[in-house]
Copies of this chain bind each other. A is one copy, B any other.
Amino acid sequence: MYTIGQVSEMFDLPISTLRYYDKEGLFPAMERKNGIRKFGETELEALRVIECLKASGLEIKDIKRFMQWCTEGPETYAQRKELFECRREAVQEEMARLQKTLAMLEFKCWYYDTAIADGSEDGLQSMMPDKLPSNVQKLYDLAHS
């Protein structure tokens, strides 16, 4: 069993954040002794899942719902699995979006490299999507698709 201070160090999270998560119902099984929180293995695994679901873009209130399911036994396995499938798809879509963003950023890097090397042209409008090197053309197409 760990104190809130120990868990704060283990996960590199402010104590205030752990208390906030608790207040929001993210540790429905947490016990206390004289009012003091006792984090057990259940809460540590909960925190790992919280970090994962948060990174997937899920909101706190929905993470709370998941943690509630976890206290309700095998009847909720299907819902829990569906949630993870859903987050998996969301993350895949976000990665695809970021891939396009990356292409645009790489195009812009190339553009300014070229502009600096040339010592010419300015501004927001000055890139004509003709006659670019074909690898850059690919970045440009991807970024604007």
Complex-state Cα separation, A108 to B83, whole angstroms:
10
How many subunits of this chain does the assembly comprise?
A: 2
Report A's interface with B, CB cutoff 8 A: 29, 41-42, 45-46, 48-49, 52, 55-56, 70, 73-74, 77-78, 80-81, 84-85, 87-88, 91-92, 94-95, 97-99, 101-102, 104-106, 108-109, 112-113, 115-116, 119-125, 143-144
**Complex interface: chain B residues within 8 A of A55 (CB):** 97-98, 101
Instruction: Give which listed residue, B29, B85, B91, B116, contacts A101 with CB less than 8 A.
Output: B91
Q: By the criterion CB–CB under 8 Å, are B77 and A115 in contact? A: yes
Q: With A and B bound together, what is the CA distance between A143 and B48 in angstroms?
A: 10
Q: Is the CB–CB distance between B102 and A92 below 8 Å?
A: yes
